[in-house]
Amino acid sequence: MKKILVCEDEEAIRDFVVINLQRSGYTTVAVASGEEALQAFDEQNGDFDVVLLDIMMPGMDGFTACRKLRERSDNIGIIMLTAKTQEMDKVRGLMLGADDYIVKPFSPSELVARVDAIYRRVSMSVSKKEDNAPIVSGCFTLAPKSRTLTKNGVPVDLTQVEYQIMELFIKNKNVALDRSHILEHIWGDNYFGDVKIVDVNIRRLRMKIEDEPSKPVYIQTIWGYGYKWQEPEQEPEK
């Protein structure tokens, strides 16, 4: 079952989203506030594939709801809905754990395409069975079966987007990857959004894996091009 939690305080927009998602085969639960979104999520034991969150809502805003939902689940897909076009609104949502954002007004085709892309990613993380052997890169180990990452044996909490980026990097050690390639590989070739979403996710990922995020060692920037995973040296046993 393709199940989505829709959180939007404006009834007309909420109905528009629900109708178009249902036409595309999704089961929807619609709420009007961040508090109701968390309640619905908890009451149904997190049984959702994707959450659509409006940012500007009375009471608990979408940013707070995003953070609290991400604390509850690394696997669920989160898309922010915003009427604002300021860069910082987009960046803030992504840094709090959102996977994507849609700027209002949006068309039914854009809405469904964005949701489909996130849903495929979530489904893949749950059902992927092949290539289950751990992938090691220096002090890092990816476990494809559980979709997890450890650094020196210590688990690193990653969203599914972050996991996919790490997987792409570690499978392409010491290879420069341009932003467009990363965008297409992670978000799909029909992605409507800005390539800057790659930079924000890289920033968030560095905060989790680098000893000094402001001086990255593992994820290196290739100026004017993209990024490269620098194969870490295996730390000697003590």
Whether 64 shows a pLDDT value over 90: the answer reads: yes
Structure token pair of residue 155: 């688990």
Domain for residue 234, yes or no? no
Q: Examine the domain organization and report whether 38 and 57 are in the same domain.
A: yes
User: For residue range 162-191, what is the model confidence (pLDDT) as tens digits?
Assistant: 999 999 999 999 999 999 999 988 887 777
pLDDT for the residue numbered 225:
93
Q: Examine the domain organization and report whether 94 and 153 are in the same domain.
A: no
Mean pLDDT across the stretch 219-228? 94
Please provide the average confidence, as pLDDT, over all residues in the chain.
Answer: 87
pTM for this entry: 0.72
| d(C-alpha 168, C-alpha 182), whole Å | 8
Residue 32 sits in which domain range? 3-127
Whether 211 shows a pLDDT value over 70: the answer reads: yes
Q: Residue ranges of the alpha helices (H) in the chain?
A: 11-23, 34-43, 62-72, 87-95, 108-127, 160-170, 179-187, 196-209
Q: Examine the domain organization and report whether 163 and 120 are in the same domain.
A: no
State the CATH number of the domain containing residue 55.
3.40.50.2300
What's the total number of domains in the chain?
2
Q: Examine the domain organization and report whether 196 and 84 are in the same domain.
A: no
User: For residue range 74-93, what is the model confidence (pLDDT) as tens digits?
Assistant: 889 999 998 766 667 778 88
Longest CA–CA separation in the chain, Å: 62
Closest CA to 197 of 80, 47, 111: 80
Last residue of a domain, one of 127, 147, 180: 127
User: For residue range 86-128, what is the model confidence (pLDDT) as tens digits?
Assistant: 667 778 888 888 988 888 889 999 899 889 988 887 776 655 5
Domain for residue 177, yes or no? yes
Q: Examine the domain organization and report whether 51 and 111 are in the same domain.
A: yes
Q: How many CB atoms lie within 10 A of CB 170?
A: 19
Domain for residue 80, yes or no? yes
